[in-house]
Protein backbone atom coordinates (compact mmCIF):
# COMPACT_ATOMS: atom_id res chain seq x y z
CA UNK A 1 0.00 0.00 0.00
CA UNK A 2 1.39 3.39 -0.99
CA UNK A 3 2.39 6.15 1.42
CA UNK A 4 3.67 9.69 1.07
CA UNK A 5 7.12 10.49 2.44
CA UNK A 6 7.41 14.20 3.16
CA UNK A 7 10.51 16.15 4.20
CA UNK A 8 9.24 19.38 5.69
CA UNK A 9 10.50 22.92 6.00
CA UNK A 10 10.14 24.09 2.38
CA UNK A 11 7.78 27.01 1.59
CA UNK A 12 5.49 26.40 -1.38
CA UNK A 13 6.03 28.74 -4.34
CA UNK A 14 4.61 28.84 -7.85
CA UNK A 15 1.23 28.15 -9.35
CA UNK A 16 -1.20 25.26 -9.26
CA UNK A 17 -4.18 24.47 -11.50
CA UNK A 18 -7.38 23.46 -9.73
CA UNK A 19 -9.10 20.34 -11.05
CA UNK A 20 -12.80 19.71 -11.52
CA UNK A 21 -14.91 19.30 -8.39
CA UNK A 22 -15.21 15.75 -7.07
CA UNK A 23 -18.48 16.51 -5.32
CA UNK A 24 -19.97 17.94 -8.52
CA UNK A 25 -18.76 15.39 -11.04
CA UNK A 26 -20.11 12.25 -9.35
CA UNK A 27 -23.82 13.24 -9.47
CA UNK A 28 -23.30 14.76 -12.93
CA UNK A 29 -21.95 11.44 -14.20
CA UNK A 30 -24.89 9.69 -12.54
CA UNK A 31 -27.27 12.10 -14.28
CA UNK A 32 -26.13 10.82 -17.68
CA UNK A 33 -28.27 7.75 -16.91
CA UNK A 34 -31.38 9.91 -17.35
CA UNK A 35 -31.08 9.96 -21.14
CA UNK A 36 -30.50 7.44 -23.90
CA UNK A 37 -28.46 10.04 -25.76
CA UNK A 38 -24.74 10.73 -25.51
CA UNK A 39 -23.41 13.14 -22.86
CA UNK A 40 -19.97 14.74 -22.83
CA UNK A 41 -18.50 15.98 -19.55
CA UNK A 42 -15.34 18.15 -19.49
CA UNK A 43 -12.94 19.12 -16.68
CA UNK A 44 -13.36 15.72 -15.04
CA UNK A 45 -10.66 15.07 -12.40
CA UNK A 46 -8.56 11.90 -12.47
CA UNK A 47 -9.71 10.43 -9.14
CA UNK A 48 -10.30 6.91 -7.90
CA UNK A 49 -13.91 7.88 -7.04
CA UNK A 50 -14.46 8.98 -10.65
CA UNK A 51 -13.00 5.65 -11.82
CA UNK A 52 -15.41 3.83 -9.53
CA UNK A 53 -18.36 5.81 -10.90
CA UNK A 54 -17.29 4.99 -14.45
CA UNK A 55 -17.24 1.29 -13.58
CA UNK A 56 -20.67 1.57 -11.92
CA UNK A 57 -22.13 3.21 -15.04
CA UNK A 58 -20.57 0.50 -17.19
CA UNK A 59 -22.00 -2.21 -14.94
CA UNK A 60 -25.43 -0.70 -15.53
CA UNK A 61 -24.97 -1.01 -19.31
CA UNK A 62 -23.69 2.46 -20.24
CA UNK A 63 -20.78 2.97 -22.59
CA UNK A 64 -18.14 5.08 -20.85
CA UNK A 65 -15.15 6.60 -22.64
CA UNK A 66 -12.44 8.56 -20.83
CA UNK A 67 -10.15 10.81 -22.86
CA UNK A 68 -7.96 12.87 -20.55
CA UNK A 69 -10.27 15.15 -18.58
CA UNK A 70 -13.26 14.46 -20.85
CA UNK A 71 -15.70 11.65 -20.16
CA UNK A 72 -18.33 10.57 -22.69
CA UNK A 73 -21.25 8.49 -21.46
CA UNK A 74 -23.81 6.86 -23.72
CA UNK A 75 -26.47 5.11 -21.65
CA UNK A 76 -28.64 3.94 -24.55
CA UNK A 77 -29.76 0.77 -22.77
CA UNK A 78 -29.36 0.35 -19.03
CA UNK A 79 -30.54 -1.95 -16.27
CA UNK A 80 -31.69 -1.01 -12.79
CA UNK A 81 -29.47 -3.35 -10.80
CA UNK A 82 -26.10 -1.91 -9.73
CA UNK A 83 -22.94 -3.90 -8.91
CA UNK A 84 -23.02 -4.55 -5.16
CA UNK A 85 -19.24 -4.60 -4.58
CA UNK A 86 -18.60 -1.45 -6.61
CA UNK A 87 -21.39 0.65 -5.11
CA UNK A 88 -20.83 -0.26 -1.46
CA UNK A 89 -17.25 1.08 -1.61
CA UNK A 90 -18.23 4.69 -2.32
CA UNK A 91 -20.87 6.79 -0.62
CA UNK A 92 -21.32 8.99 -3.68
CA UNK A 93 -22.65 5.99 -5.59
CA UNK A 94 -26.06 6.43 -3.91
CA UNK A 95 -26.69 9.21 -6.42
CA UNK A 96 -27.50 6.63 -9.11
CA UNK A 97 -30.77 5.91 -7.26
CA UNK A 98 -32.60 9.01 -8.52
CA UNK A 99 -31.58 8.66 -12.19
CA UNK A 100 -32.48 4.95 -12.29
CA UNK A 101 -35.92 5.64 -10.81
CA UNK A 102 -36.46 8.56 -13.17
CA UNK A 103 -35.43 6.59 -16.26
CA UNK A 104 -36.60 3.05 -15.46
CA UNK A 105 -39.02 3.38 -12.57
CA UNK A 106 -36.99 0.87 -10.58
CA UNK A 107 -33.60 0.52 -8.95
CA UNK A 108 -31.64 -1.98 -6.87
CA UNK A 109 -28.66 -0.26 -5.26
CA UNK A 110 -26.41 -1.56 -2.49
CA UNK A 111 -26.07 0.55 0.64
CA UNK A 112 -23.00 2.76 0.07
CA UNK A 113 -19.76 3.08 2.01
CA UNK A 114 -17.06 5.80 2.01
CA UNK A 115 -14.93 7.61 4.59
CA UNK A 116 -15.41 6.80 8.26
CA UNK A 117 -16.25 10.32 9.47
CA UNK A 118 -19.44 9.68 11.36
CA UNK A 119 -22.97 8.56 10.67
CA UNK A 120 -24.17 9.59 7.23
CA UNK A 121 -27.52 7.85 6.80
CA UNK A 122 -29.38 7.90 3.52
CA UNK A 123 -32.75 8.34 5.20
CA UNK A 124 -33.32 11.73 3.55
CA UNK A 125 -32.60 10.21 0.13
CA UNK A 126 -35.20 7.53 0.79
CA UNK A 127 -37.65 10.09 2.22
CA UNK A 128 -37.35 12.09 -0.99
CA UNK A 129 -37.91 9.08 -3.24
CA UNK A 130 -40.91 7.94 -1.18
CA UNK A 131 -42.37 11.44 -1.45
CA UNK A 132 -42.24 11.08 -5.23
CA UNK A 133 -44.26 7.86 -5.04
CA UNK A 134 -41.55 5.23 -4.71
CA UNK A 135 -42.00 2.00 -2.74
CA UNK A 136 -38.72 1.19 -0.98
CA UNK A 137 -37.52 -1.83 0.96
CA UNK A 138 -34.07 -2.76 2.32
CA UNK A 139 -33.13 -6.37 1.55
CA UNK A 140 -29.78 -8.13 2.02
CA UNK A 141 -27.84 -4.87 1.90
CA UNK A 142 -29.74 -3.49 -1.10
CA UNK A 143 -32.12 -0.58 -1.46
CA UNK A 144 -34.94 -1.97 -3.60
CA UNK A 145 -36.99 0.86 -5.10
CA UNK A 146 -39.97 0.67 -7.44
CA UNK A 147 -41.94 3.55 -8.90
CA UNK A 148 -43.89 2.78 -12.08
CA UNK A 149 -44.88 6.45 -12.04
CA UNK A 150 -43.06 9.27 -10.23
CA UNK A 151 -45.35 12.12 -9.20
CA UNK A 152 -44.18 15.60 -8.27
CA UNK A 153 -44.68 16.75 -4.71
CA UNK A 154 -43.58 19.26 -2.08
CA UNK A 155 -41.05 17.94 0.41
CA UNK A 156 -38.74 19.10 3.19
CA UNK A 157 -35.14 17.77 3.04
CA UNK A 158 -33.63 19.34 6.14
CA UNK A 159 -31.81 16.99 8.49
CA UNK A 160 -30.23 17.08 11.93
CA UNK A 161 -27.08 18.72 10.56
CA UNK A 162 -28.77 20.77 7.86
CA UNK A 163 -29.67 20.04 4.24
CA UNK A 164 -28.32 16.99 2.40
CA UNK A 165 -26.26 17.71 -0.71
CA UNK A 166 -26.45 14.26 -2.30
CA UNK A 167 -30.06 13.90 -1.18
CA UNK A 168 -30.96 17.16 -2.91
CA UNK A 169 -29.13 15.94 -6.03
CA UNK A 170 -30.91 12.60 -5.98
CA UNK A 171 -34.37 14.13 -5.67
CA UNK A 172 -33.63 16.72 -8.38
CA UNK A 173 -32.59 13.99 -10.81
CA UNK A 174 -35.61 11.79 -10.13
CA UNK A 175 -38.04 14.73 -10.17
CA UNK A 176 -36.72 15.94 -13.53
CA UNK A 177 -38.71 13.10 -15.15
CA UNK A 178 -41.62 13.00 -12.68
CA UNK A 179 -45.16 14.05 -13.53
CA UNK A 180 -45.96 17.57 -12.39
CA UNK A 181 -44.24 19.99 -10.05
CA UNK A 182 -41.75 19.14 -7.29
CA UNK A 183 -40.71 21.71 -4.69
CA UNK A 184 -37.73 20.90 -2.44
CA UNK A 185 -37.70 22.95 0.76
CA UNK A 186 -34.49 23.17 2.83
CA UNK A 187 -32.54 22.17 -0.24
CA UNK A 188 -28.75 22.19 -0.12
CA UNK A 189 -27.30 25.43 -1.52
CA UNK A 190 -23.80 24.21 -2.43
CA UNK A 191 -22.23 25.22 -5.77
CA UNK A 192 -22.15 21.53 -6.68
CA UNK A 193 -25.97 21.47 -6.55
CA UNK A 194 -26.08 24.46 -8.90
CA UNK A 195 -23.64 22.73 -11.27
CA UNK A 196 -25.83 19.63 -11.41
CA UNK A 197 -28.94 21.75 -12.02
CA UNK A 198 -27.16 23.55 -14.87
CA UNK A 199 -26.28 20.20 -16.46
CA UNK A 200 -29.82 18.88 -16.05
CA UNK A 201 -31.25 22.06 -17.58
CA UNK A 202 -28.84 21.65 -20.50
CA UNK A 203 -30.39 18.19 -20.93
CA UNK A 204 -33.85 19.74 -21.13
CA UNK A 205 -34.91 19.71 -17.48
CA UNK A 206 -36.86 22.61 -15.96
CA UNK A 207 -35.20 23.44 -12.65
CA UNK A 208 -35.34 26.80 -10.91
CA UNK A 209 -33.91 28.06 -7.63
CA UNK A 210 -30.79 25.91 -7.41
CA UNK A 211 -28.42 27.54 -4.93
CA UNK A 212 -31.33 28.65 -2.73
CA UNK A 213 -33.19 26.72 -0.02
CA UNK A 214 -36.19 26.25 -2.33
CA UNK A 215 -35.74 24.39 -5.61
CA UNK A 216 -38.61 23.97 -8.07
CA UNK A 217 -38.58 21.16 -10.65
CA UNK A 218 -41.18 20.89 -13.38
CA UNK A 219 -41.08 17.36 -14.71
CA UNK A 220 -40.57 16.72 -18.43
CA UNK A 221 -41.28 13.63 -20.54
CA UNK A 222 -37.69 12.98 -21.53
CA UNK A 223 -34.17 14.41 -21.42
CA UNK A 224 -31.61 14.61 -24.20
CA UNK A 225 -27.83 14.51 -24.38
CA UNK A 226 -25.74 17.52 -23.39
CA UNK A 227 -22.19 18.81 -23.04
CA UNK A 228 -21.00 20.32 -19.77
CA UNK A 229 -17.88 21.57 -18.00
CA UNK A 230 -17.55 20.76 -14.29
CA UNK A 231 -16.86 23.62 -11.86
CA UNK A 232 -13.45 23.87 -10.14
CA UNK A 233 -13.04 22.02 -6.85
CA UNK A 234 -13.45 24.60 -4.08
CA UNK A 235 -12.11 22.20 -1.43
CA UNK A 236 -8.95 21.52 -3.42
CA UNK A 237 -8.49 25.28 -3.87
CA UNK A 238 -8.96 25.83 -0.13
CA UNK A 239 -6.50 23.05 0.68
CA UNK A 240 -3.77 24.64 -1.44
CA UNK A 241 -4.50 28.07 0.03
CA UNK A 242 -4.10 26.68 3.55
CA UNK A 243 -0.95 24.80 2.52
CA UNK A 244 0.57 28.01 1.14
CA UNK A 245 -0.14 29.81 4.42
CA UNK A 246 1.09 26.93 6.59
CA UNK A 247 4.43 26.62 4.77
CA UNK A 248 4.98 30.40 4.68
CA UNK A 249 4.88 30.27 0.91
CA UNK A 250 3.31 32.18 -1.96
CA UNK A 251 1.08 30.35 -4.41
CA UNK A 252 -1.12 31.36 -7.33
CA UNK A 253 -4.16 29.09 -7.34
CA UNK A 254 -5.36 29.00 -10.93
CA UNK A 255 -9.01 28.53 -11.77
CA UNK A 256 -10.21 28.89 -8.18
CA UNK A 257 -13.72 30.23 -7.75
CA UNK A 258 -13.38 32.83 -5.00
CA UNK A 259 -17.16 33.24 -4.97
CA UNK A 260 -17.38 29.63 -3.75
CA UNK A 261 -14.85 30.21 -0.97
CA UNK A 262 -16.07 33.24 0.98
CA UNK A 263 -16.07 31.57 4.41
CA UNK A 264 -12.63 29.98 3.99
CA UNK A 265 -11.00 33.11 2.60
CA UNK A 266 -12.57 35.21 5.35
CA UNK A 267 -11.01 32.99 8.03
CA UNK A 268 -7.64 32.95 6.29
CA UNK A 269 -7.61 36.75 6.17
CA UNK A 270 -8.71 36.87 9.81
CA UNK A 271 -5.73 34.77 10.84
CA UNK A 272 -3.29 37.01 8.94
CA UNK A 273 -3.01 35.40 5.50
CA UNK A 274 -2.93 37.67 2.46
CA UNK A 275 -5.44 36.58 -0.19
CA UNK A 276 -5.79 38.53 -3.42
CA UNK A 277 -8.19 37.85 -6.27
CA UNK A 278 -6.57 38.14 -9.69
CA UNK A 279 -9.21 37.39 -12.30
CA UNK A 280 -10.10 33.69 -12.02
CA UNK A 281 -7.04 33.07 -9.81
CA UNK A 282 -6.14 33.59 -6.16
CA UNK A 283 -2.76 34.73 -4.84
CA UNK A 284 -2.14 33.43 -1.32
CA UNK A 285 0.81 34.17 0.94
CA UNK A 286 1.62 34.50 4.61
CA UNK A 287 1.08 38.09 5.69
CA UNK A 288 3.29 37.90 8.77
CA UNK A 289 2.59 36.44 12.19
CA UNK A 290 -0.45 34.16 12.19
CA UNK A 291 -3.31 34.83 14.59
CA UNK A 292 -5.64 32.21 16.10
CA UNK A 293 -9.26 32.05 14.92
CA UNK A 294 -12.41 30.29 16.07
CA UNK A 295 -14.29 28.28 13.45
CA UNK A 296 -17.62 26.46 13.33
CA UNK A 297 -18.42 24.20 10.39
CA UNK A 298 -21.84 24.83 8.86
CA UNK A 299 -23.79 24.04 5.69
CA UNK A 300 -22.93 26.23 2.70
CA UNK A 301 -22.25 29.15 2.67
CA UNK A 302 -20.72 28.62 6.10
CA UNK A 303 -17.27 27.21 6.75
CA UNK A 304 -17.15 23.77 5.05
CA UNK A 305 -16.64 20.64 7.10
CA UNK A 306 -14.39 19.43 4.28
CA UNK A 307 -11.85 22.13 5.24
CA UNK A 308 -11.99 21.60 9.00
CA UNK A 309 -9.01 19.21 9.23
CA UNK A 310 -6.81 21.38 7.00
CA UNK A 311 -7.48 24.59 8.95
CA UNK A 312 -6.77 22.69 12.18
CA UNK A 313 -3.30 21.86 10.87
CA UNK A 314 -2.75 25.58 10.24
CA UNK A 315 -4.03 26.51 13.71
CA UNK A 316 -1.63 23.98 15.26
CA UNK A 317 1.18 26.21 13.93
CA UNK A 318 -0.48 29.45 15.04
CA UNK A 319 0.49 30.89 18.45
CA UNK A 320 -2.51 31.14 20.77
CA UNK A 321 -5.75 29.30 21.34
CA UNK A 322 -8.18 28.36 18.56
CA UNK A 323 -11.50 26.58 18.95
CA UNK A 324 -12.79 24.55 16.02
CA UNK A 325 -16.36 23.28 16.36
CA UNK A 326 -17.71 20.54 14.09
CA UNK A 327 -21.47 20.79 13.47
CA UNK A 328 -21.82 18.49 10.45
CA UNK A 329 -20.20 15.13 11.31
CA UNK A 330 -19.82 13.93 14.87
CA UNK A 331 -16.70 11.79 14.28
CA UNK A 332 -14.65 14.13 12.15
CA UNK A 333 -11.79 14.58 14.60
CA UNK A 334 -10.00 11.32 13.80
CA UNK A 335 -7.03 13.32 12.53
CA UNK A 336 -6.43 14.84 15.97
CA UNK A 337 -4.42 11.91 17.42
CA UNK A 338 -2.31 11.82 14.24
CA UNK A 339 -1.60 15.55 14.38
CA UNK A 340 -0.62 14.99 18.02
CA UNK A 341 2.01 12.48 16.84
CA UNK A 342 3.61 15.40 15.01
CA UNK A 343 3.59 17.51 18.19
CA UNK A 344 0.29 19.40 17.89
CA UNK A 345 -1.48 20.26 21.17
CA UNK A 346 -5.17 19.60 20.63
CA UNK A 347 -7.86 18.51 23.08
CA UNK A 348 -11.43 17.46 22.31
CA UNK A 349 -14.35 18.87 24.29
CA UNK A 350 -17.62 17.55 22.90
CA UNK A 351 -18.07 18.87 19.35
CA UNK A 352 -15.08 21.22 19.67
CA UNK A 353 -11.35 20.85 19.26
CA UNK A 354 -9.26 23.25 21.35
CA UNK A 355 -5.98 23.92 19.58
CA UNK A 356 -3.08 25.37 21.53
CA UNK A 357 -0.85 26.38 18.65
CA UNK A 358 2.63 27.67 18.13
CA UNK A 359 4.84 24.71 18.94
CA UNK A 360 7.02 23.50 16.04
CA UNK A 361 5.98 20.15 14.61
CA UNK A 362 8.36 17.24 14.06
CA UNK A 363 8.02 14.46 11.52
CA UNK A 364 6.63 11.03 12.39
CA UNK A 365 4.71 8.16 10.76
CA UNK A 366 0.97 8.97 10.70
CA UNK A 367 -2.17 7.23 9.48
CA UNK A 368 -4.84 8.84 7.33
CA UNK A 369 -8.41 8.04 8.39
CA UNK A 370 -10.34 9.85 5.66
CA UNK A 371 -9.94 12.08 2.64
CA UNK A 372 -9.65 15.49 4.31
CA UNK A 373 -7.71 14.14 7.30
CA UNK A 374 -5.13 12.95 4.77
CA UNK A 375 -4.81 16.47 3.37
CA UNK A 376 -4.36 17.89 6.87
CA UNK A 377 -1.55 15.43 7.62
CA UNK A 378 0.19 16.33 4.35
CA UNK A 379 0.00 20.04 5.22
CA UNK A 380 1.33 19.38 8.71
CA UNK A 381 4.10 17.16 7.34
CA UNK A 382 5.25 19.90 4.96
CA UNK A 383 5.76 22.22 7.94
CA UNK A 384 7.35 19.67 10.29
CA UNK A 385 11.04 19.22 10.98
CA UNK A 386 12.37 15.97 9.57
CA UNK A 387 10.42 13.32 7.68
CA UNK A 388 6.72 12.49 7.90
CA UNK A 389 5.25 9.34 6.37
CA UNK A 390 1.51 9.53 5.66
CA UNK A 391 0.09 6.03 5.33
CA UNK A 392 -3.13 4.89 3.64
CA UNK A 393 -3.09 7.62 1.03
CA UNK A 394 -5.71 5.86 -1.05
CA UNK A 395 -8.04 8.27 0.75
CA UNK A 396 -6.20 11.19 -0.89
CA UNK A 397 -6.50 9.66 -4.34
CA UNK A 398 -10.28 9.56 -3.89
CA UNK A 399 -10.56 13.35 -3.90
CA UNK A 400 -7.32 15.07 -4.95
CA UNK A 401 -5.99 14.73 -8.47
CA UNK A 402 -2.27 13.91 -8.32
CA UNK A 403 -1.80 16.04 -5.21
CA UNK A 404 1.78 14.85 -4.69
CA UNK A 405 2.76 15.87 -8.22
CA UNK A 406 1.11 19.28 -7.83
CA UNK A 407 2.85 19.88 -4.50
CA UNK A 408 6.19 18.77 -5.92
CA UNK A 409 5.88 21.37 -8.68
CA UNK A 410 5.41 23.96 -5.91
CA UNK A 411 8.69 22.89 -4.33
CA UNK A 412 7.50 20.37 -1.74
CA UNK A 413 9.81 17.47 -0.97
CA UNK A 414 7.26 14.70 -1.30
CA UNK A 415 7.49 11.17 -2.74
CA UNK A 416 5.24 8.16 -3.09
CA UNK A 417 6.73 5.11 -1.41
CA UNK A 418 5.56 1.66 -0.43
CA UNK A 419 4.18 1.81 3.11
CA UNK A 420 1.63 0.24 5.42
Residue among 127, 157, 187, 304 nearest 197 (CA): 187
- Measured CA angle at 374 (ends 372, 380), to 5 deg: 105
Sign of CA dihedral 89, 92, 93, 94: positive
Mention every residue, 6+ apart, whose C-beta is less than 8 A from residue 16: 240, 251, 252, 253, 254, 406, 409, 410
Contact status, residue 230 vs residue 41, Cβ threshold 8 Å: yes
Q: Give the single-character DSSP code of 300.
A: T
What is the Cα–Cα distance from 317 to 193, expressed in whole angstroms?
A: 34
What is the Cα–Cα distance from 401 to 383, expressed in whole angstroms?
A: 22
**Torsions phi, psi for 107 (to 5 deg):** -160, 145
Q: Which residues are catalytic?
A: 115
What is the Cα–Cα distance from 82 to 100, expressed in whole angstroms?
A: 10
Q: Is 227 helix (H, G, I), strand (E, B) or coil?
A: strand
Question: CA torsion, points 43, 44, 45, 50, in degrees to nearest 10?
Answer: 170
H/E stretch holding 168 reads helix 165-175
Contact status, residue 290 vs residue 321, Cβ threshold 8 Å: no
Contact status, residue 178 vs residue 219, Cβ threshold 8 Å: yes
Amino acid sequence: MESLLIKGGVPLHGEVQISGAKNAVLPILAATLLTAEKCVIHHVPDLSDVGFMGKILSSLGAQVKIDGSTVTVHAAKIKGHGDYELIRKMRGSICILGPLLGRLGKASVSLPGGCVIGTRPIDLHLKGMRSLGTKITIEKGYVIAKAPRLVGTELFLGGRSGPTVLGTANVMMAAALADGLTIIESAACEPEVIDLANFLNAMGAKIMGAGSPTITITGVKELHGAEHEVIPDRIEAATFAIAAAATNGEVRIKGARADHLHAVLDKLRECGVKVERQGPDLMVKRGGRLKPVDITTLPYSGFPTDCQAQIMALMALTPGLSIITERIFESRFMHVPELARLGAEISIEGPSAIVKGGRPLSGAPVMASDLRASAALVIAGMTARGATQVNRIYHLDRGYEKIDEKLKRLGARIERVEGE
